[in-house]
């Protein structure tokens, strides 16, 4: 394995870890701001990656995608525990929506920040500079991908959670009940979408956003 390949793999691993771990911490942090101590009491608001690693989502899935030559790489960390009833009691449905979208917001803001400072590393004169350029570029790609993916209104993704709580806040009871009924089948629907041409259309915004940022 060449030095360039090692740098690329290392950059992708770090970028993915920062993206998915930060995503989960933000869910817990916003919930904490609304009085939910669950994540904090369980030590899940720490940046220590060991408490957030999911063997499948953090290690296996990204590895399989990378070594199979997939055009993208993503994964997930261990979900941060949240007592949404406490959140809604203190802040209502809007607070629940804020908690649901906290991780996505983090991903898009981090992508924008990395894109903003990437130009300073586009002409590296050292291995460190080259690594930083790779890290920032991968961070933009991975965070935009995760942000768009989690916006899909398919349970159990964040977009579906936000839409469900929004419906509850707007008193769209039938819509909320419908979401509750399809929730147990969410993973089946998600897998079906990922392995059909429909996923191409749903991932199209990733290219638009990345091109705009870069």
Segments making up each domain of the chain, as ranges: 3-213
21 neighbors 77 (Cβ within 8 angstroms) = yes
C-alpha dist (Å) from residue 59 to 55, 75, 140, 213: 5, 8, 20, 28
CA distance 95 to 84: 9
> What residues act catalytically?
24
pTM to 2 decimal places: 0.90
Nearest partner of 62 among 147, 142, 3, judged by Cα? 142
Per-run averaged pLDDT (10 residues), the chain, 214 residues: 76 91 95 94 86 81 75 78 94 95 97 96 84 94 94 91 90 86 86 79 88 93
Cβ partners under 8 Å of residue 11, min gap 6: 131, 134, 135, 137, 138
Instruction: Identify the pLDDT of residue 1.
Output: 62
Q: Tokens 């991908």: give the residue.
A: 145
Listed in order, strand segments (DSSP E) in the chain are none
């Amino acid at each position: 394995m060449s030095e360039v390949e090692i740098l690329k793999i290392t950059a992708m691993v770090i970028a993915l870890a920062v993206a998915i771990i930060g995503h989960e911490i933000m869910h817990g942090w916003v919930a904490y701001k609304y009085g939910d101590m669950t994540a904090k009491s369980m030590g899940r608001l720490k940046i220590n990656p060991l408490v957030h690693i999911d063997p499948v989502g953090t290690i296996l899935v990204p590895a399989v995608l990378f070594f199979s030559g997939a055009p993208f790489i993503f994964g997930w960390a261990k979900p941060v525990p949240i007592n949404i009833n406490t959140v809604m009691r203190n802040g209502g449905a809007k607070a629940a929506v804020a908690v649901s979208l906290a991780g996505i917001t983090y991903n898009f803001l981090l992508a924008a920040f990395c894109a903003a400072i990437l130009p300073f590393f586009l002409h590296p004169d050292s291995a460190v500079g080259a690594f930083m350029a790779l890290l920032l570029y991968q961070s933009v790609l991975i965070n935009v991908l995760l942000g768009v993916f989690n916006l899909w209104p398919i349970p159990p993704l964040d977009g579906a959670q936000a839409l469900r709580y929004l419906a509850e806040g707007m008193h769209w009871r039938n819509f909320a009940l419908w979401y509750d009924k399809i929730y147990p089948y969410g993973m089946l629907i998600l897998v079906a979408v990922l392995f059909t041409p429909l996923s191409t259309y749903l991932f199209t915004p990733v290219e638009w956003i990345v091109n705009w940022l870069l």
